[in-house]
Every structure is written in structure tokens, then in C-alpha cells.
Structure 1
Amino acid sequence: MKSSPAAMLYRNTAARSVLRAISSSNASVARSSMGAPIFKAQLTSSARAVRPAIKPSFALAAHKPVTTALVRFASSSAKDDENVDMMAGMKAEAQVIKDTFSLKDVPKEAMALGMAGVIPYLATSLETVYLSYEINRAAALGDGLIFSGQSAELMLHMLEPIQVGYGAVILSFLGAVHWGLEWAGYGGKFGYRRYAAGVLAPAVAWPTLLFPTEYALITQFLAFTFLYYNDARAAATGRAPHWYGMYRFVLTFVVGASIVATLIGREQIQATVKSEHTIKDKINALIFLQKKEKEEAEARRKAELGQDEE
């Protein structure tokens, strides 16, 4: 009948303990005795004869489940800690972004009127895109979806001064805000430094009424961007309410997107629509008209002198 590995391990351990006890008690005698080598040799040979063959894999197998469990626990704990830290960091960053783009401190009246103020700009932009589609359709198929090509082109030319003129009005208004802040003494008195924004805005805005539509819209886009930068700095330095920077960002984004959409729509019909009269054409037409009126007046004067002579 074969012994189990556990029984063999127990007997092996007991044999080792007996041998260690005998060796320690007879250590001094074994050193001085002549027969010590023979005794040790016999003892060693007998111990080797009695010792069963133990496979190293058994001891490893006995400790492996515990070691594996510890490794798994440590790795899972590290992953859980990393996940917790990562989620906490993502939540903190999300909260920072939310606080940065928050509009909760903006007065409701200012928010409502500001969003209502960009509606005309957005409406003219969408109308320009649609009329551009109608003009292209009429050029390709001979007729538009709702309007004819000529009607769509005429309506487009009617929208141009509305969008450019309204942009000039809004730019002037944004500059005038800083005059009000200076008069109220918000954040202190800054004098010409603050008045300059109120003067520069209309000085750039109103000449765009004389530009061709594309150049006028591009100029106004740059002016809106510059004024937003100036307003954001004013809010950051205490020269304007702290919510004014984000408030202006939202409104400027809508206006800027409207201008870009208008420019894209007009680009699609650049080869189809007749070019509008530029300021140079209008000045030349005015000079020609004045010259023609002078020639007609001179002709009438000569005719009247001829009648008097007769």
C-alpha cells in the first residue's frame, strides 16, 4: 500500500528533527573521535536511504494558491485606486469646464435681450444661405424651388445692407458699453484708456457700410473678435462684471458663425450673381452725373442766349 505525499512529508520532517538533535548533542564527541567520519557517513547514507523522494512541485503547489491570491488582490487594488484617481480627476476637470462656461451669474434680462439681439443677424445669415441655394438651382435647372433666380438675387441684394448695417449698430453699442462703465466708475476710473474702446468700435464699424459686402463682413468679424478680447480682459481685470467675458463669448460665437455662414453662401454664387456696385463705381457714377448735369445746364444757357439774340 503506497503512502500519501503528506505522510511521506511528515516522516521526512521527523527524521530531519531527530538527526539534528543527535548531531547537536554529539558535536563535541564527533570532532575528537576517530570513527566520526564513518558514523557520519553511515548516518548520512542511512538518512538518504530512509528519506523519500519529494518532488519540488509539491511545495510550490502548496504555496501557489496563496501567492496567486495575494498577487491578484494587489493588482486589483492598484487598478481600483487608479480608477478612483482617474474618475476623480475627470470629475474635477469637468467641474472646472462647467464653471468656466457657466452663465448662471448673468442677469436674466441681459441674457434674454442679448440672445434676442443676435436673432436678426442669424436670420439674415440663414436667409442668405437659402437664397444662394435658390440662385444656384435656378442657374442649373432653370428655376428655383420657391423663388425664381432673379427674385432670389433681388432679395439677396436687399439683405446685404440689412446685415452689414445691423452689424455696424451692434459694434457701436458694444463700444458704448465701456463709456457707461467709466461713467459708473466700475472698478475705478480709467479715463481715455476705457473711452478708447467706445470710440474705436464705431470708427471701424460705420465705414464698413461703404465696403463691398464680403469685405464689410470680414472687417466686422475681425472687429467683433477684437472687442470680445477687450471685453474678456476687462472682466478678468475687474473693469467689467466677472460674467461679462463668458456672456460676450456666447454672443460673439453666434455672430461669428453667422458671418462665416453668410460668406460661405455668397462664395457659392460668386460666379452666378452680378457683382454689386462698389464704392468706386458709385463715386464714378456721381462724378459722371454731375458732369452731365453741368453740360445740360450749359446747353440750356446757350439756348436761352440764342433766343434773346433773335
Structure 2
Amino acid sequence: MMYRTAATRSVLRAISNSNASVARSTLVNNVFKAPLTSSARFPAARLTTSPSLALAAARKPVTTALVRYASTGSKGADEDVDMMAGIKTEAKVIKNTFSLAEVPKEALYLGMAGVIPYVATSLQTIYLAYETNLAASGDGLIFSGQSAELLLHMIEPVQVAYGAVILSFLGAIHWGLEWAGYGGKYGYKRYAAGVIAPAVAWPTLLLPVEYALISQFLAFTFLYYNDARAAAAGRAPHWYGIYRFVLTFIVGASIVASLIGREQIATKVSEHTITDKINALLFLKKKEKEEADARRKAEAGEESE
């Protein structure tokens, strides 16, 4: 009888414990599933929520916000890192694009030395323009106004003539590439590129200085475009395009600097246009003819006496 009573008590205790655990699990499920379900489908979920569970549910949005903030902050940091990596990559691409490492040293050194006359004459033009403007209101820093103007007129043919020589030299390079058969034989197509350069360059010697510099600037730009296409098509070394770009940029900047300097003294320096030169030549020829006629008349008069 005693054993039977103990067994009965054990069975009742197990049943009560199982019912309690089932009730607790049901209550927890209702609490945590409540935000995911509508109040119409589970109206009893709100009624069975205890104050402690309601407090836990109220804390849940705070935890979610913290997690969201942490994830957003880490995402912003990743974006900053990606942006810096992108900038570094672009800087590296630019550096590699304008790199002259593959250019032969002899060509690089001689090419850089070849732009020195352009840079020197441009700097002298700017300085002499400054001296001319300074002398207009008094005395110049080193030269007088007349001396600065005279030196400026001496520099003009040097810069223009040197530009014509360099343009002709750039055209002759294509003849050498054709003779060497670099990239194949192109015949008159490549020879024409060498002929156009001097055909455009030398007539600039007859133009006024401003027009001559502008014409040479356009000629240098066109030749660079042609040389870059030749390098891309395999008709010239692959490094020739960037090499020509660097040299053309320096020459073009020098020409622009000279034009800006001359613009500052456009009203203070006498200019001689091509019309003035032709008129002066005709006047000189007419004067020489008159002097020759007068000399013949004088000789004829002496003989008659």
C-alpha cells in the first residue's frame, strides 16, 4: 500500500512538472512571436503578456537599433576604406599612364634639352614685357624702355625660327620610320606626314609674331595627335605617344606664356605686320630705282659736257 501511494505521488509530480514546462514554453512563444503577428489573428497574445515580458519586449527595439547602428558604422568605415583604395588606384593609373620609364634615356635627355630654348625665350619675353611696362611709368629695373623693346624684337625671330625647325624635325621622324619599315610599309601616307610639317612651319616666319606663335601652337598640337595615333596603331614605338605629349605640353605652355607676355605690352611696342614688311620692301626698291636713275642722268650729263 505504501509503495502504491509513493508511485502515485511520483506520477502526479511528473505530470504537474510537464504541464508547467509546457505552459512556460507556450507563454514564451506567444511573447516573442507577438511582434511578428497581427493582433487580429492572435488577440490573446496581448492579454497573456506579463509586465516582465512586456519590459523585455520594450527593450527589443533598443537592441535592434544598436545592432543597426553598429552595422551602419562598420559599413561607413568600409566605404571610406574603399574610397581611399579607389583614389590610390586612380593615382597609380595616372602615374603609370604618364610614366616615361620606357622612353630611351638618350631620347628623353635630348628631348628635354630641346625644349630649353622655348622655355628660355618665353621667360625672357615675360621679363622684357615687365620691364617695358615698368619703364612706361619711369625707369626699368635693369633695362630702359627702348632697350627692352629692342631685346624683345631680337628674341622674336629666335623663338619663331626655332619653332619652325622643331616642327620640320618632327615631320622628318616619319620618314625615318618609313625607311626602317617600322610597323610595315605605308608609302605616301607616312611620307605625307613628314612633308606637311615643314610646309606649315616655314611660312610662319613671314607672319607677325602673335600669328606665327598661334600657328605653330596649332601645328604642334596636330602633330602630337598624328604621332599619338601612329604609336597606338603600331606605326611608331608604343612610348612615343606619351613622350610627345610631355614635350608638346611644355612647348605649348611656353608659347602661351609668350603670348600672354606680349599681350601686356600690345599698345607699347610697335608691331610690323606682313603688310608693313611688304610695303617697306616696295618702298626700298622704289627708292633704289630712283637713285639709280638719278645716277645715270648724272653720268650722262658729265659725258655730254
Q: Which residue of 2 aligns with 1:250?
A: 246
CA displacement, residues 228-271 of structure 1 (integer Å, 9 cap, x when unaligned): 11111111111111111111111111111111110011011011
- Write out aligned runs for 1:194-273 (5 A): 194-273=190-269
TM-superposed CA distance for 1:64, in Å, is 4.8
Q: In structure 2, what is the Cα distance between the partners aligned to 1:245 and 1:163?
A: 25
Q: Which residue of 2 aligns with 1:119?
A: 116
TM-superposed CA distance for 1:84, in Å, is 4.1
Q: Which residue of 1 aligns with 2:298?
A: 303
SS in structure 2 at match of 1:146: coil
Distance 1:16 1:62, change over 3 A: farther
Q: Which residue of 2 aligns with 1:92?
A: 89
Moved over 6 A (4+): none
SS in structure 2 at match of 1:248: helix
Quote the sequence identity (%). 71
Q: In structure 1, what is the Cα distance between the partners aligned to 2:202 and 2:99?
A: 33
TM-superposed CA distance for 1:85, in Å, is 3.5
Distance 1:56 1:177, change over 3 A: same
Q: Which residue of 1 aligns with 2:16?
A: none
Q: In structure 1, what is the Cα distance between the partners aligned to 2:153 and 2:59?
A: 90
TM-superposed CA distance for 1:299, in Å, is 2.4
Q: How many equivalent pairs are there? A: 266
TM-superposed CA distance for 1:15, in Å, is 10
Q: In structure 2, what is the Cα distance between the partners aligned to 1:230 and 1:61?
A: 74
SS in structure 2 at match of 1:274: coil
Gaps of 5+ in 2: 1-18, 27-46
TM-superposed CA distance for 1:143, in Å, is 0.5
2:23 pairs with 1:17? yes
Query: What amino acid is aligned across from residue 190 of structure 2 in structure 1?
Result: R
2:182 to 179, 182, 186: 186
- Write out aligned runs for 1:31-50 (5 A): none
Moved more, 277-286 or 261-270: 277-286
Distance 1:158 1:55, change over 3 A: same
CA displacement, residues 212-233 of structure 1 (integer Å, 9 cap, x when unaligned): 1001000000000000111111
1:159 to 141, 155, 159: 155
Q: In structure 2, what is the Cα distance between the partners aligned to 1:274 and 1:97?
A: 45
Distance 1:237 1:52, change over 3 A: closer
TM-superposed CA distance for 1:83, in Å, is 3.5
2:99 to 99, 102, 125: 102
Distance 1:80 1:153, change over 3 A: same
Query: What amino acid is aligned across from residue 196 of structure 1 in structure 2?
Result: A
Query: What amino acid is aligned across from residue 299 of structure 1 in structure 2?
Result: A
Query: What amino acid is aligned across from residue 23 of structure 2 in structure 1?
Result: S
What TM-score comes out, normalization by structure 2 length? 0.80
Q: Which residue of 2 aligns with 1:25?
A: none
SS in structure 1 at match of 2:131: helix
Q: In structure 1, what is the Cα distance between the partners aligned to 2:183 and 2:52?
A: 86
- Write out aligned runs for 1:118-137 (5 A): 118-137=115-134
Q: In structure 1, what is the Cα distance between the partners aligned to 2:186 and 2:84?
A: 46
Q: In structure 1, what is the Cα distance between the partners aligned to 2:258 and 2:184?
A: 40
Q: In structure 2, what is the Cα distance between the partners aligned to 1:248 and 1:55?
A: 80
- RMSD over aligned Cα atoms: 2.4
TM-superposed CA distance for 1:79, in Å, is 2.9
Query: What amino acid is aligned across from residue 285 of structure 2 in structure 1?
Result: Q
Q: Which residue of 1 aligns with 2:172?
A: 176
TM-superposed CA distance for 1:285, in Å, is 2.1
Q: In structure 1, what is the Cα distance between the partners aligned to 2:201 and 2:234?
A: 26
